[in-house]
Amino acid sequence: MFSDIFRSRIIETTIGIGTVVFVSVLTFQFLKKPRKISRIIDTMEALKKSNVHIKNRDHVEEVVSQFIKDGPSKLQVISDFDHTLTRIHLNGKQCTTTYGILDQGPFCTDEFKEKSKSLFNHYHPIEVDPNLSRAEKVPYMLEWYTKSVLLMPTSGISKSSVPEMVETSNVCLRDGCDAVFELLHKKNVPLLIFSAGVGDMLKQVLQKKNLLLPNIKIIANFLRFDEKDKLLGFKDELIHTFNKNKGSIKNSDYFETLKTRNNVILLGDSLGDLDMAAGVQNLNSILKIGFLNYKIEESLQEYMDNFDIVLTDDQTMDVAFVLLQSIL
Ligand code: TMP
Ligand code: MG
C-alpha cells in the first residue's frame, strides 16, 4: 500500500520534471537567435561536388560577397594557360601543353621530337614533385626551359606551320571555357593570360575558337623566327614556371591601367601561378582558384593552404563560371 503511493509519487514527479524540461527546450528554441542564413557559396551547386576542396569557407564567402557588392567594374581576372584553361585529359588520353604542340606530328625533325620528349619525361616529374620546395625546383625549371629553347633551331619548324600544328594537336580548352570568356567579354572584365607556355600556340588555340577577344591580354613566350621563317627560339626574356611575377611583365603598363580594379580572381594549376597577381596595384581582395592535376593526394594539403578553392581532376570551368555569374 505504502509502496504503491510512493511509486505513483515518483511517476508524478518524473512527469512533472519531463514537462518542465520539454517546455524549457521549446522556449529556448523559440527565443534563441534565428539561424544564420546559409552562405552564398553554399547555394552554388558547382561548389558542392566532391572534387571541390575549400579550407576556409568563411573566407571564400567573405571575398565572394565583397566581389558581388563591388560588381564588374572592380574586377580583373588573371589566369595561367596550360592545364589551367586547357584540359589534362580527354577520352582517356593526356592532352598536351603549348610546348607539346611543337613536338607533335610531322612538323618537326625526329631528333627534336625525341629530345623534347625526353626533357619532358625528366623535368615534368620534378615540376610536380610535392616533396621538393619551390627553391629546389627553380634551377631545374630554368634548366628545362633553357634546354628546350636551345633545341628549337634544330626543330625544322616554320612559322607557316603554326596554324596546322595547333589544328592537329590535342590541346583542348576546358569545358565551359568559352562561356567564361564570353561572359568576361560581355561585362568588360579584363582577362590577363599569363603563361610560361608558347604564346604563338596559345593565341592560335584561342583564335581557332574565336576567343581572342579584345578584353584579353597575353603575356607568354613568343617565338622568334629567322628571315626564312625557321624557328630560332623565343623573342624575349624567358618566362618559366616560377618567375610569373611582375618581373616578367616589366615595360608593361597593364596593371597601371587597371589600378581601379582591385578585386582579382586568379586561376592556376601550379604553385608558381600564385605570383601572377604580384603586379596588381592597390589589391583589395583576391580569390585564388587552383586546379590540382598531378600527385593529387600528396599535394592536396599544400594546394589547400595556398589556393582558396582547389579543384581536383576537374576538366571544366564550372566553378569559375558559377562564381563569375553571381559576381557579374
Ligand atoms: P603555363 O605557365 O601556361 O602552365 O605553361 C608552362 C607549362 O608547360 C608548364 O607546366 C611546363 C610545361 N612545359 C612542357 O610541357 N614542355 C616543355 O618543354 C616546357 C619547357 C614546359
Ligand atoms: Mg599551367
Establish whether residue 145 lines the binding site of ligand 1, counting it when its CB lies within 6 angstroms of any ligand atom.
yes
| pLDDT band with cut points at 50, 70 and 90 for residue 131 | very high
Nearest atom (ligand 1) to Cα of 145: 20
- Name the residue of 97, 112, 151 to mutate for ligand 1: max ligand atoms within 8 A of Cβ: 97
Q: Is 80 an active-site residue?
A: yes
Cell 509502496: give the residue: 3
Query: Of the bound ligands, which one is closest to the alpha carbon of residue 194?
Result: 1
Q: Is the pLDDT of residue 31 over 80?
A: no
Q: Is the pLDDT of residue 17 over 70?
A: no
Rounded to 10°, the helix 134-151/110-127 angle is 170
| pLDDT band with cut points at 50, 70 and 90 for residue 204 | very high
Establish whether residue 103 lines the binding site of ligand 1, counting it when its CB lies within 6 angstroms of any ligand atom.
no
Q: Is the four-CA dihedral 302, 304, 307, 311 of positive or negative sign?
A: positive
- 3-state SS, residue 166: helix
Q: Rounded to an integer, what distance in angstroms lies between the CA atom of residue 132 and that of residue 295?
A: 13
Q: Rounded to an integer, what distance in angstroms lies between the CA atom of residue 99 and that of residue 120?
A: 10
pLDDT of residue 4: 61
Task: List residues bridging with 290 in a β-sheet.
Answer: 268, 310
Q: Is the pLDDT of residue 226 over 70?
A: yes
Establish whether residue 273 lines the binding site of ligand 1, counting it when its CB lies within 6 angstroms of any ligand atom.
no
Residue 274 in contact with residue 288, Cβ under 8 Å?
yes
CATH superfamily name and code, 40-93+172-327: HAD superfamily/HAD-like (3.40.50.1000)
Q: Is the pLDDT of residue 320 over 60?
A: yes
Q: Is the pLDDT of residue 18 over 60?
A: no
Residue 233 in contact with residue 224, Cβ under 8 Å?
yes
Nearest residue (by CA) to ligand 1, atom 4, is 82
- Name the residue of 129, 147, 205, 241 to mutate for ligand 1: max ligand atoms within 8 A of Cβ: 241
| Cα of 213 from ligand 1 centre, angstroms | 24
Catalytic residue among 80, 103, 273, 318: 80
| Cα of 98 from ligand 2 centre, angstroms | 10
Q: Rounded to an integer, what distance in angstroms lies between the CA atom of residue 137 and that of residue 242?
A: 9
With b for 16 or more beta-carbon neighbours within 10 A and e for fewer, the 239-254 pattern comes to bbbbbbbeebbeeeeb
Residue 13: its H or E element: helix 2-31
Give the β-pairing of 191-198 and 216-221.
parallel
pLDDT of residue 28: 57
Angstrom CA distances, 4 to 1, 12, 17, 149, stand at 5, 12, 20, 99
Domain range summary for the chain, segments of one domain joined by +: 2-32, 40-93+172-327
Of the candidate ranges 157-171, 244-258, 267-281, the one whose mean pLDDT is the lowest: 244-258
pLDDT of residue 311: 98
Pick 44 or 20 by higher pLDDT.
Answer: 44
Catalytic residue among 4, 58, 70, 82: 82
Cell 582577362: give the residue: 191
Q: Is 314 an active-site residue?
A: no
Rounded to 10°, the helix 57-70/318-327 angle is 50
The model's pTM is 0.89
Give the β-pairing of 231-234 and 223-225.
antiparallel
- Cα-to-chain-centroid distance, residue 10: 67
